[in-house]
Amino acid sequence: MLTTWLFILTGTAWAAGERTLVWTGIDYGLVRLVGTLDFRDPSAIFPGYFNTWNGLFVEEQLDELEARTKVSAIVTSLSHLGDLHRVADPNTQIVRDDSFPVTDELPAQLIRDRVKSYALRETEGTALALIADQLHKPNQLGCFWVVRYDVATRDVHSLVRACEPAHGFGFRNYWFGSVKDVVSQLAAVR
């Protein structure tokens, strides 16, 4: 299913000559962090790591995203994430139950509503965002909604949930590994 969405992204999204992509970041404001013994330092995660992972994406993955989506330029618009991450609530978003199913997806309508709420700097173009659904330690997976949408109307054109293995050394890199793997899937349709 991810490959189908990526074909739409690379095959038709810019077919009409649109060569710029607005990257609106990784939204962790709705994420469920699943694990009985993990996520022990909520004050470091909320919003610290959420913002760190977005900074890391800009440093390490923006060029990769540009190459994978075959656009000529990427514009970043991330200022809206600061407020969304500050109001994220570790008391409701950390799930200390290893049996919580990784298949328990955030509803697609919630994702669409979330995109509609974005206060972006940019006023036009096609945007791409990852909306974090779960960081699931028992299954060692990071699950994200890959969302392509119109900046002006916030209408969602494509919405796909992708789960990739978490990997890397240390908390930051372990969970960022699944983000990198979601981006690497863009190569599947080259």
- Asked whether the whole model's pTM tops 0.85, one would answer yes
**pLDDT score of 9:** 54
- What are the pLDDT digits (tens) for 88-109? 999 999 999 999 999 999 999 9
Asked if 159 contacts 183 with a C-beta cutoff of 8 angstroms, the reply is no
Question: How many domains are there within the chain?
Answer: 1
- What are the pLDDT digits (tens) for 62-87? 999 998 888 889 999 999 999 999 99
Distance CA 65, CA 24 (A): 12
- Of the candidates 175, 146, 115, 117, the one whose C-alpha atom is nearest the C-alpha of residue 8 is 146
Q: How far does CA 190 lie from the centroid of its chain? A: 21
- Structural domain containing residue 110: 2-10+19-189
**pLDDT score of 70:** 86
Distance CA 33, CA 39 (A): 7
Residue 176, CB-side half-sphere exposure with 13 Å CA sphere: 20
Asked if 77 contacts 126 with a C-beta cutoff of 8 angstroms, the reply is no
Residue 174, CB-side half-sphere exposure with 13 Å CA sphere: 11
Distances 190 to 8, 9, 155, 184 between C-alpha atoms, Å: 12, 11, 26, 11
